Structure 1
Amino acid sequence: MGMLSPSKSVKAPSMLSHGSKWVRSPQSGILRVAKSMGAQVNKGDILGYVADPFGTSEEVIHSHLSGVIIGQATLPLVHEGEALFHVAGIGAGEDIDDNLRQFHHEIDPDMENISS
């Protein structure tokens, strides 16, 4: 009808991910989320906490890489090893060496001394 001036949409800047990684629960218990979907996180940031039902033991969940949270568990009750947060890595890929070392350690701890 032409009564209102058209609004200009602002496009969000695009991000390029070099990979993603799921952060898993270190123990079974109740998940308390500290970061929400779409939040940008840095390596080492606190993503949440997992506590046993009686509150006697609480584990802090840290991000393993810098990036954006693109997925997360929605149920509060989690089991040890369950995927909690899916983080898409952004940036120059500075975490690739760390991820490779961690992968080698998970497969065979003796591979830590082998250079790539």
Structure 2
Amino acid sequence: MKTNPISQHGAAVALVQLLEEHPELSKHLTWSVPRTGPGLVGIVHDDGVRVLADCRRFLGGSVQVGREHESGGVVVRQHVLASVWRDVRVEILVSLPVTAEAVAA
């Protein structure tokens, strides 16, 4: 019988449940289960404004906006949706061109 739970186990189970309930997320995000920090981290790769809005709709939480930086010749800001889902801290990260920010708010 195990006496020391694996810290990432709950996050991994939550990720399986999240993707079962919202399979479209596997098309737009890459997920990680870090050893420290939030339980789940999703990085949005495409259709950032829509995916971030969808995630906020069913995960709730709040979006924090980072500082401007340049990426591939485009000025972007990283947006972080922070939430809790099934008792697991979740962060969804997306870098959006500064011109698209008004749509994401």
Bin the TM-score by the shorter chain. Answer: under 0.3
The two structures have a TM-score, normalised by structure 2, of 0.28
**Larger CA Rg, structure 1 vs 2:** 1
Q: Which has the higher contact order (CA 8 A, sep 6+)?
A: 1
Q: Which has the higher helix share?
A: 2
The two structures have a TM-score, normalised by structure 1, of 0.26
